[in-house]
Structure 1
């Protein structure tokens, strides 16, 4: 019988490993709070400036839909906006007991280990 990763057997171990990984990952991410802050550049709000390439790109594309510069500016603008969102995130781990934290990390590590073991050829 060919199992997970083309190895003999290993499907039950793979499924248990994936379940433990998902459970540990869920419990860990459930303890995390994500907030955002202002987009600052040298102490000034920079969100409007990050929209300029996007707006110029949209304008060029409405003028000429085949404009290479329009597509480049549109893509660059979207990339700048996405990067600005990611850069300005603040991630906090909520207080949890040591037992809960060890259980979350233990489930995650055990699941990754079982999943990797099921994919290893014998």
Structure 2
């Protein structure tokens, strides 16, 4: 029977690592506050509407001709512009916590990811005594 990642064994280690990583990740993200930084500004004016122009043009071209390469490129560019614009306007704050809690969160996350990676590694065959 193959284990984690098609390697022999390691299923138990993988799931223990997954539980540790999930616990550490949850504790870490629980200490983070995310807010918006305001509106998109372009020359002092709200620029969000302008960022939608490639998206709208691409969508229109795709509905006119589904094989339009220009339409697909404009749609993709419009989605990237909106996604990057949203991410660039986020403000992320790490809430004050104790050093112990921070080390616990990061330690659980690192230990879990390390155990998961180790479980996927191919192990050398065990030597048998003759």
Q: TM-score, normalised by structure 1?
A: 0.83
Query: Structure 1 stretch 76-85 or stretch 100-109: which is displaced more?
Result: 76-85
Distance 2:66 2:118 in 1: 51
* 8 Å contact from structure 1 (residues 57, 72) kept in 2: yes
Tell whether 2:46 aligns with 1:45: yes
Tell me, which stretches of 5 or more residues in structure 1 are unaligned?
none
Residue aligning to 1:11: 11
Higher helix content, 1 or 2: 1
* Shift of residue 5, structure 1, vs aligned partner: 2.0
Residue aligning to 2:79: 78
Matches within 5 A, 1:110-121: 110-121=111-122
* 8 Å contact from structure 1 (residues 54, 74) kept in 2: yes
Tell whether 2:36 aligns with 1:33: no
Tell me, which stretches of 5 or more residues in structure 2 are unaligned?
124-130
Distance 1:115 1:30 in 2: 22
* Shift of residue 56, structure 1, vs aligned partner: 3.1
Q: Say which SS state the counterpart of residue 33 (structure 2) adopts.
A: strand
* 8 Å contact from structure 1 (residues 50, 77) kept in 2: yes
| CA-atom RMSD in angstroms | 2.1
Residue aligning to 2:128: none
Distance 1:61 1:7 in 2: 45
Distance 1:67 1:2 in 2: 44
Q: Say which SS state the counterpart of residue 8 (structure 2) adopts.
A: coil
Residue aligning to 2:127: none
Q: TM-score, normalised by structure 2?
A: 0.78
* Shift of residue 74, structure 1, vs aligned partner: 3.1
